[in-house]
Homo-oligomer: A and B are copies of this chain.
Amino acid sequence: MELQWTKIFLPEIKELIETKDFKGLRDFLRERHPADIVDILRELDPTERVMGFRLLDKNKISEVFALFEPIEQEELLKQFTEQHAKEILTEMQPDDRTQLFDELPAHVVERLLKLLPPLERKEANELLNYPHNSAGRIMTPEYVGLQMDMTVAKALEHIRKTGLNRETIYICYIVDETKKLRGVTSLKNIILANPDQLIKDITNEDVIYVHTTDDQEKAVRVVQKYDILAVPVVDNEDRLVGIVTVDDVLDVVQEEVTEDFQKMAGIQTTEEEYFRIVFSKRILNRVTWLVVLVIAATISQTILKRYSGVLSSMIALAYFIPMLTGSGGNTGSQSSTLIIRALATGEVKSKEWWRILSREVKVGISLGLIMGLIAFAIAAISLKEFTVAITVGISLCTVVSVGNIVGLAIPLFFRFIKLDPAFVSAPLIATLLDATGLVIYFEIASRILTPASIP
């Protein structure tokens, strides 16, 4: 089967619905993967969608439900009967449930928690108590736990008995009687071992873990670095309380990358998909930074007003303002992007700032020289005015060198004071560099353009 066949099947499904062929629809859905069922249900209108849910196999319902976005899940819950909602919520994987509750208003969560049986309610409450974006918040408590002195045969029997509901059975954790994490092994080790060997003999005691309160990014880094299918999460007393699996890690990576992109473009971050954002939020997410930047741009205006004498005595200086401010901004957004991404992937640490700076000073000056020469040539040809051309050339060289360092320094500084470097948006750097560039430009101009050279 190939990807994205939903559209091909849609007419068939619509017809099944129109002819009220519920048996046909049920058979059709039975053979589909939950992720594809979500695609199909999304194309239907709300009442058809609820009907579609009723036709799903019992064991598939909660899996399909979990794949919707929280905002859609909320919509669906409103349309389900209380009994139906209760069944789905109880059946959901604990980590999927936390993700849903995370996004709902407190009073709705309160009401939904009451629907859960005592055990699931306790579990959900515990997970919701971990901080936002922490490893505890995205973990699932459903792991396979083994003991050191079990035989391999006994362990396999244990996995067979309890494995069905576990998020993964491929990575097994060894805990002692106080639930402390002692080691890790894999189903591969177990399968390849002799049945009467002890689990102890195939256990790696050097197990890599994260704490419940660690940032979720740390769990991501561990999974990526060690190429493992899951990372164990322990509490303050080193007791194993859950695991974060690789599929959750992939989701977190995508989410955080989208957030970084948005921050860097000066947009307030949102986890909702593009088409699922309402109009007012669309405006709100974007207007804050734009307004801040318009106001910040009054600095440029004040500077230009201050130099209006030089400007009006040589109006040609104005022609090169966009080229100058643009080049500064472009260089700054290049260097800030490079450093923000390198910090995000962990390739670079903020304490290496000296090494970075010493490299980039040279890069900036080289770029400045190349671009300054080109700008000089352009100005000389188009104006046939040597003094203005030399002013433009020197200014552009300086602005590009400075812009390169400013683009680097601000994200590094943000990381240093424990703020997210991605908040340093390219627009912010460009606006700051506009003002800096103008001062450099007019200071150089007023020195080079003696009254004699002004026609």
In the complex, A124 has a CB within 8 A of chain B: no
Interface of A is mostly: helix
Question: Bound complex: CA of A266 vs CA of B327, how far in Å?
Answer: 12
Residue of B218, B262, B283 touching A338 (CB-CB under 8 A)? B262
Q: Select from chain B the residue with minimum beta-carbon distance to A228.
A: B247
A286 touches B318 (CB 8 A): no
Residue of B206, B225, B258, B289 touching A345 (CB-CB under 8 A)? B258
Q: Select from chain B the residue with minimum beta-carbon distance to A438.
A: B322
A330 touches B262 (CB 8 A): no
Known contacts: A298-B382, A427-B329. The answer to whether A206 contacts B1 by CB under 8 A is yes
A396 — which chain B residues lie within 8 A by C-beta?
A: 294
A323 touches B311 (CB 8 A): no
A206 touches B274 (CB 8 A): no
In the complex, A354 has a CB within 8 A of chain B: no
In the complex, A321 has a CB within 8 A of chain B: yes
A304 — which chain B residues lie within 8 A by C-beta?
A: 318-319, 321-322
In the complex, A363 has a CB within 8 A of chain B: yes
Residue of B31, B247, B431 touching A206 (CB-CB under 8 A)? B31
Give the interface of A toward B (CB within 8 A): 1-3, 31-33, 35, 156, 159-160, 163-164, 169-170, 187-188, 191-192, 206-210, 218, 221-227, 229, 246-247, 249-251, 253-254, 257-258, 260-262, 264-267, 273-275, 279, 282-283, 286-287, 289-291, 293-295, 297-298, 300-302, 304-305, 308, 311-312, 315-316, 318-323, 325-327, 329-331, 333-334, 336-342, 345, 347-348, 352, 355, 359, 362-363, 366-367, 370-371, 374-375, 378, 382, 396, 400, 426-427, 430-431, 434-435, 438
- Apart from A262-B338, A322-B435, 9 more pairs, CB < 8 Å: A156-B191, A273-B342, A275-B348, A279-B362, A290-B334, A290-B371, A298-B378, A305-B382, A308-B316
